[in-house]
A and B are shown apart, each in its own frame.
Chain A
Amino acid sequence: MNQTTHGALSFRCLTTVWILLLVLTGITVGVSHLDLGAINIWAALGIATLKASLVVFYFMHLKHEPRLLVICLFIALLTLAAFIGLTFLDVLYR
């Protein structure tokens, strides 16, 4: 059952991810000081998604898990997106 275990991630790899996360936090704080109008919120969300992917794929080892978990995560995110998206069909056009 090779899929039940995964090797330890190296300290170097994890630390690199951490540094990237710090940099991205800096960027998102920096961007928030620029007035880009509606782009601000999308930039913030985009950077947050990038950070979240780093956490999910490296800290949470998703990169080394069977594809099943990736598909499951995708289903969960799609569901959340559908819930929010369909609600907006109401609130945007009311």
Chain B
Amino acid sequence: MSQQNDRGFLQASNLQPLLFDWIFSVDHKRIGLLYLYSVCAFFLAGMVLGLLIRLELIAPGPTIATAQTYNALFTLHGVVMIFLFIIPGIPAAFGNIMLPLQIGAQDVAFPRLNLLSWWLYILGAFMALTSLFSGGGPPDTGWTFYVPFASETPTNVSLALLAVFIIGFSSILTGVNFVTTIHRLRAPGMHWGRLPLFIWSLYATAWVQILATPVLGITVILVMVERLIGLGLFDPARGGDPILYQHLFWIYSHPAVYIMVLPAMGVISEIIPVFSRKPTFGYKAIAASSVAIAAAGSLVWGHHMFVSGMSDTAIMVFSLLTFLVAIPSAVKVFNWVATLYRGSISLEPPMLFALAFVFLFSIGGLTGLVLGSASADVHVHDTHFVVGHFHYIMFGGTGFAFFAALHYWLPKVFGRMYNIKIATIAWAIIFVGFNLLYFPMMLVGLHGMPRRYYDYLPQFQNLNVIATVGSWVLAIGLLLMFANLYRGIRRGTAAGNNPWQAATLEWVVTSPPPGENFSQPPQVTHDPYDLQQAGKP
């Protein structure tokens, strides 16, 4: 095997320092990898913060942190995980790498804009981290930045908000790029009915990024200006209405949940047919449900505000709309299960993570219905039940899909295979650790333990100890998984062009893909999950 010639897009140009080759590259695959490295780094940082939170909660009273430190810890954990890991995680990293490959294009529509997005993301991340060590100390508002506290706390909220604004701008530009790419750069024969389901989910996500993110942008600007010169727009003493802040914030931040989870569902829709050796069941239903989730998901933000003092009419309508979102989500789950039915299932690591996704996402989704029904929500609002629920969706859902994507696509990106056995062991440890960590949270929440306090009543301790031990198990599994993947990238055996015998276009080119992807625009002749045609365009 001649090592130098088949490094594809990873080949150094030798025209400038290697670092410049990467950080000024407009190649979507390199930008995607830049995102991938960045989000993994922030994931590890967020994980450490999460471990510290759990360690503090191992016993009542101050254990390792004071109340103020604890507030900063969970704020940072939220900001880092949400804005720096989950939102860009799948769409910006794997979306960038796979979108042009899967539709048979040479790059995204605006390659330079794509690079600008990454730079803005890094700038925002840098500012978010700077906010910890400058000004009045780390922000302590929680990632939701609720007023009036956020406009009055002396901590360094303004810089963190500016960081959020810039990261949001980066997200909008990625959305613009993806929608344009999908409309304009599909290869001949790649009509909408042949679009891989991952692309459909990216398309729906990109629309939400374009239309919902600017609302967050204006909201954080208003809070910044409020802190700077005092507008009073959310200050009841001056005629303002703080609940309007919550509306504006959740108008973005609830659809943002779908920015996080839709691409994850897309990944799962790619993996399940390949490892069941069957064309996906209900292609059209899954594609349509992505768009339906994006549309309906933009209309349900009020369910975060059932106890805020919002009108009862709004509570009823938002509760009803929330139940409606469950329909397209369930459509996806049923179609995945129907794809598995009588398939020739092979439990390779990507499939294991995908199946774990379906299981954990279903738990997260069903507990979501408890929260979506207004009367039940009143009882569990702001308890650890909510924390458990959204970690089942965000981590059990999006996190596991991210890991599935790593195991599914890294052999393509680097041309090397990781150790399957270790990957399987890591998956098992992660799965056990995850449930040990988050299931007790839901129980303790039902018993009445509120979220966002560093202290709790003694009767909650047993479940908290289990959760904290679970966090250690989970961390060990994650480290094992990352180490195995890293070793695979460096020293794994050659993976070949199509290790999973999948039929989408990215598997047609060599691994790693060549710099220009396709020397000729491929003529697409079959559906994305027509596995008999694997390896042909």
Contacts and interface: CB of A to CB of B under 8 A. Distances in A.
Let me know if chains A and B touch directly in the complex, using CB atoms closer than 8 Å: yes
Interface of A: 68, 75-76, 79, 82-83, 86-87, 89-94
A27 B64 CA distance: 69
B183 A90 contact: no
B299 A82 contact: yes
Contact of B298 (A82, A87, A89): A82
Interface stretch (B305-313, B355-363, B374-382, B525-533): B305-313
B433 interface: no
Contacts of B222: none
A87 B311 contact: no
A91 B248 CA distance: 13
Contacts of A86: 299, 301-302, 314, 317-318
Nearest to A72: B179
Given A86-B301, A86-B302, A94-B311, 19 more contacts: A79-B298, A82-B298, A82-B299, A83-B298, A86-B299, A86-B314, A86-B317, A86-B318, A87-B247, A89-B302, A89-B313, A89-B317, A89-B318, A90-B243, A90-B302, A90-B311, A91-B241, A92-B313, A93-B312
Contacts of B211: 75-76, 79
Contacts of B312: 93
B76 to A, nearest CB: 29
Interface string B286-319: 0000000000001101100000011111100110
B215 A93 contact: no
B314 A93 contact: yes
B251 interface: yes
Contact of B311 (A75, A83, A91): A91
Interface of B: 183, 207, 211, 215, 241, 243-244, 247, 251, 298-299, 301-302, 309-314, 317-318
Interface residues of A: mostly helix, strand, loop or mixed?
Answer: helix
B310 A90 contact: yes
Contact of A92 (B243, B244, B247, B311): B311
A90 B314 contact: yes
A94 B309 CA distance: 8
A90 to B, nearest CB: 4
Contacts of B243: 90
B435 to A, nearest CB: 36
Return the 4 tightest CB-CB contacts between A and B, nearest first.
Answer: A90-B314, A93-B313, A93-B311, A94-B311
Nearest to A89: B314
